[in-house]
Structure 1
Amino acid sequence: MSQPPVDYSEKRDFIRMRIEAEVQLLQADQVISAVCIDLSSTGMQVQAPQRFQVGDHLEVRIDSDHTALAGLHASTEVVWIADQPGGAQRFGLRILAMH
């Protein structure tokens, strides 16, 4: 399935909150521990030890330490990738749906 090209110049139109929180990425039957670097209302930047491809769909879970606050559970799509030393990747995820 082909997606139209996305102009990422609008990414600065959304407030990004730097959080550096532990997240779980779920793909098929795999659960991958990663770190969410920053979060906005439309997406997030994540660093993970496993490699992904643009277009991959991932479920993301961020647990909350506070009983009064629900954690985040979202369906996402990888929209950009930046390789890191040691085989890790930083990548941008677009939030498709919140659960």
Structure 2
Amino acid sequence: MIGRDDQRSYYRMLVNADCLVVVNSIETPQEYNAICRDLSANGMAVELDESIDVGKEVSVRISSASEQIPSLTAKGKVLRCAPETSNSFICGIEIIDMA
């Protein structure tokens, strides 16, 4: 978990797991391969190669490596998206619903 000096309501767990982010759109949904960097009860941070606009509704799927542990699928909203390096972005996603 990330340190106790964090002022969040829920602790974040470092995950670093491959995930699929789908931007829900009326036209054609856009899919991005990403890395879920951390996860909490009400949000997550994902690293992508492209920026996603704040306010966009997304679905995130983190596949499980084990048959005993189900994959995680969540619907959420992008709260922030900022450059991490010259070719990657970190997006903060609020979890709205878990499926």
Q: State the TM-score, normalized to the length of structure 2.
A: 0.83
What 5-or-longer segments of structure 1 have no aligned partner? 1-9
Matched with 1:72 is 72
Distance 2:68 2:84 in 1: 36
The CA deviation at 1:85 is 2.3
Matched, 1:19 2:15: yes
Matched with 2:33 is 33
Runs of 4+ in structure 1 over 4 Å off: none
Q: State the TM-score, normalized to the length of structure 1.
A: 0.83
The CA deviation at 1:11 is 5.5
Equivalent pairs, count? 90
Aligned positions of 1:1-99 closer than 5 A? 12-27=8-23, 28=25, 29-99=29-99
Distance 2:21 2:91 in 1: 12
Distance 1:80 1:32 in 2: 16
Is the partner of 2:66 in helix, strand or coil?
Answer: coil
Q: Calculate the aligned-residue CA RMSD, in Å.
A: 1.5
Distance 2:43 2:31 in 1: 20
The CA deviation at 1:87 is 3.6
The CA deviation at 1:30 is 2.3
Is 1:23–1:60's contact at 8 Å kept on the other side of the alignment?
yes
What 5-or-longer segments of structure 2 have no aligned partner? 1-5
Is the partner of 1:15 in helix, strand or coil?
Answer: coil
